Amino acid sequence: MDSLNLGQLALSLTPGPGGPMLSGAAPCPVALSAVINGYRGGMLKDLRQVLATGALESIDQAVVVARPDPDDDLETLRSEWESLTGLPAGDDVYVLKASWDRKRFLIPRAALLSILDRLEAVR
Amino acid sequence: MARAARLGTLARLGGNARYIFLNRVGAAADVVTLLVMAADAARQIARLPANSQNTGMIASLLIGQLVIQGTLTVVSARDAFGGDLRANPHISLDDGLDGHGLVVRAAVDMPGPARLGGTAPEVPTGAAHGPDVHPLTNVRTDPSGVTSGNLGPRRVDEILTAMARPGRTRARGATLTRLGENQFQMVVVTPSGPQTIDIAVSVADTSRLPPASVHVPNSGGASMAGAARLTLDPPAATGGRWSASIVLDNRLPRANAEINLGDELDEIAGIVHARPTATRAEIAREMDNSLFRRGAAANPAVTADDRATAGALFELHSRRIQAQRRARLATASSADRAAAAAEEATHQTSQARLAGYMALDEASNADQKVRILRETGVDPNRLERVPTDVRQQVMDEWEQFLHDLRLQPAAATLAAHGGAFGAGGIGPTAFTPETVAHLMAPQPHAAVPRSAPAQFRRSGVSGGHVDSALLDLQNNHPEYGYFFRQEGTPITRGDQTYRRYTQFMWTGAGPPPAPGTAGHPTGPGPLHAGWVESVQPKTTIANLPAFLEDSERALWQYVRHPSRQYSAGGAVIGTGQDRFFGPGAQAGSNLPFTQTLPNGPRISGFFDFDPTAVGAARFRLRTAFIDASWIP
């Protein structure tokens, strides 16, 4: 099975319509696979533009990509990213959320863009 | 004390057969001080030679030891008897034959305390739930190997004194004031004016806890009373003071003692607030579990005990999360982390056991149970006791806990659904109880009401796609301040109706404007600035079983779509038939789908695919919803 890496985190891929999606296999966070797969399935139509410009948010009915808000526990979210990937989170980050899972996931903007680019490249 | 030991008399108090020591002056009309101790402790003192010159000194040493062990409590006689000795049980005083010796009468079981002027109903004895909910591990072992409880009255007094600090309140805003060691006064504001309760607190060995008259299972058997007892007696006359006593198991660790004390104090506040003119019979009913009872009838009354026990469950949850956080603190020592991890495990066990005694695994009355538990968690008096740095996590996980309680009714709904996977499908259902629970029950965007407005703006309420459930959250949980404004035109197809809402949350001061008035989302003019409008629409259905079938049908049509091509790694796999049913099919989670059914509705969702499972078990829906853009 193909995969792509974010630091020490290996994200396995699975076939999707028109190109691969994230398989969502552990330890891939639910919010990450939901956002990436939702985008590749036609949701979050403005996601790439939002990420390219560093805009506030990209929102669809079940998935959300947004800049952190004052109520996010950034310390915990950053440490989760860092322990999962071994990479620093930095300040240029987004918080991902899937409606059916309460857990948010913080990811650097560059990392999220990189996933989209690499999935596009292996389609 | 030594003189009192030589000159005093031991007597038996009421039907509980606990022994008291009181000085001879106290045996007259103006009793001042009582020493409450276990019967065997009293016997030990009584066996001292009555005419020995060392008796006083030995008795003094023994009493001192009992005080240190926490098995003896000094109480004010007037407070213990609610300020009215005439209305309380007779105390039989038996002097020694020589007039100054110590005399102990063997304990005799009595049907109830005798009372001056005839027989009156017994003071009801409430209790915490579950004999094994809290660990009874706070013990010490003397050189002879005998263990005894290590929770002393001074420690209990410390706990209560902290609870009585200015600004701290209990349930219903009740305030606590310290009068003396383990003597407290609670004031509860009621619709008919403030009520005052004198509360005496003591500790006792497990075997010496008074028998409880509550928590007897519907199936019969012994009371499922836990590590605390409570008595509450109404005023003898209108305008008088209530009197209450709390007895804690002296083997409770400090944290668990706090939880039990809080449970009983909240129960007192709840009873007095709800029933300021309660009779003993009414008090007895309020002290028993009703909603949180295995085999409860439908829509039972909610008692003060139900609410207080819900509070105890929340406290266990809160302390578990706090301990979990400390256990993961990188800056803490390994010993501190280990201790915190052990505390987390203990609270987790206690929480699970108490949930069992509360019958939270029973599907009956699930909505009512969740409603009371949710109200309990967001009670301002309780919320303010959760440290601010962990409050969000505590409340988030509390909501998750409440969500999990929906699994039983969701499983029942799913069983009734029967498992059709749409016409031409492959068998059993693609829904899980978790997914159905998500559809059935809306979850607040943040567990702390009216908090995190930015998150509400982006995400709105989670789940709750059944119309009646969504409106229940709006109408029956005003503390969250949600309002769902219907948009467009509802679509009806057969026995199904689809609706679309814009979500609002009130964050302004005071109550929100009334529906239809200026400032309200349904009123004229601009929206009041106190409202937060979510960009996340909410779609609902009226008929859940029909929606379950439609969602499965949509998923089935999606994965079998004849023209959609799948690929990976630059290679084309083929259609959905090849991707999901061909050889070498690969697993995937959180895969999206959108499908418009022939009868109209456009359904979107996410699903998991497991090629190693058999038949329909390969597909598992994580969520499904009506596409908002489909409803004009």
pLDDT for res B260: 97
Model pLDDT for residues B156-200, shown as the tens digit of each residue: 999 999 999 998 999 889 999 999 999 999 999 998 899 999 999
Q: Do residues B409 and B434 share a domain?
A: yes
Residue A116: how many CB atoms within 10 A of its CB?
Answer: 16
In terms of domains, do B258 and B303 share one? yes
Q: Which domain, by its residues, includes B320?
A: 125-404
* From B396, B535, B587, residue closest to A102, measured CB to CB: B396
Best mutation target among A14, A67, A105 (most B Cβ atoms within 10 Å) is A14
Say if residue B154 is in the same domain as residue B268.
yes
Assess if residue B152 is contained within a domain. yes
Contact assignment for A71 to B570 by CB distance below 8 Å: no
Residue B101 forms part of a structural domain: no
By the 8 A CB rule, do A23 and B588 touch? Answer: yes
**Residue B24 located in a structural domain:** yes
Show which of B404, B438, B463 is a domain's final residue. B404
Q: Are B351 and B313 in contact (CB under 8 A)?
A: yes
Among the candidates B347, B369, B404, a domain finishes at B404
Asked whether residue B583 falls in the same domain as residue B530, the answer is no
Residue B36 banded pLDDT, cuts 50, 70, 90: low
Q: How far is B590 from chain A (nearest CA, A)?
A: 5
| Residues B385 and B409 both lie in one domain | no
CB neighbour list of residue B93: distance below 8 Å, 6 or more residues apart: B9, B11, B27
Model confidence at B226: pLDDT above 90: yes
The answer to whether residues B506 and B561 belong to one domain is no
Query: Does the pLDDT at position B627 exceed 80?
Result: yes
Query: Can you give the pLDDT at residue B76?
Result: 54
Answer for the pair A97, B481: CB distance below 8 angstroms, yes or no: no
Q: Does B333 touch chain A (CB under 8 A)?
A: no
Tokens read off for B455: 């998150």
Residue B338 pLDDT class (50, 70, 90 cuts): very high
**CA quadruple B179, B180, B183, B189: dihedral, nearest 10:** 10
Q: What is the mean pLDDT of chain B?
A: 83
ipTM for the whole predicted complex goes beyond 0.85: yes
Give the model's pLDDT for residue B26.
Answer: 39
Write the DSSP string, B165-219.
STT---GGG-EEEEEETTEEEEEEEETTEEEEEEEEEEEE-GGGSPPPSS---TT
Compute the half-sphere exposure of residue B249: CA atoms within 13 Å on the CB side of its CA: 27
Rounded Cα gap, residues B539 and B632, in angstroms: 12
pLDDT at A57 over 90: yes
Total domain count, chain B: 4
pLDDT (0 to 100) of residue B91: 40
Is 70 exceeded by the pLDDT of residue B424? Answer: no
Give pLDDT tens digits for A3-33: 899 999 999 999 999 899 999 999 999 999 9
Query: Is residue B95 over pLDDT 60?
Result: no
pLDDT category, B543, cuts 50, 70, 90? Answer: very high
Q: Residue B626: inside a domain, yes or no?
A: yes
Kindly state whether residues B508 and B617 are assigned to the same domain.
Answer: no
Instruction: Report if residue B366 sits inside a domain.
Output: yes
Q: Which two tokens stand for residue B178?
A: 């310290």
Is the pLDDT at B77 greater than 60, yes or no?
Answer: no
Q: Full-prediction pTM beyond 0.80?
A: no
Q: Are A37 and B606 a contacting pair at CB < 8 A?
A: yes
What pLDDT, on the 0 to 100 scale, is given for residue B2?
35
pLDDT band at B353 (very low <50, low <70, confident <90, very high): very high
Asked if B486 and B570 sit in the same domain, the reply is no
The first and second tokens of residue A40, run together, are: 């590749």
User: Residue ranges of the alpha helices (H) in A27-89?
Assistant: 30-40, 47-53, 74-85
B130 shares its domain with B211? yes
Do residue B418 and residue B398 come from a single domain?
no
> With contacts defined as CB-CB under 8 Å, which chain A residues touch B593?
41
Same domain, B181 and B242: yes
- Ordered DSSP codes for B372-421: HHHHHHH-HHHHTTS-HHHHHHHHHHHHHHHHHHTHHHHHHHHHHHTT--
- With respect to residue B380, please indicate whether it lies within any of the assigned structural domains: yes
At residue B41, the 3 state secondary structure works out as helix
Kindly state whether residue B107 falls inside one of the protein's structural domains.
no
Residues A71-120: tens digit of each pLDDT:
888 999 999 999 999 999 999 999 999 999 888 999 999 999 999 999 99
Evaluate whether B133 touches B357 at the Cβ level (below 8 Å). yes
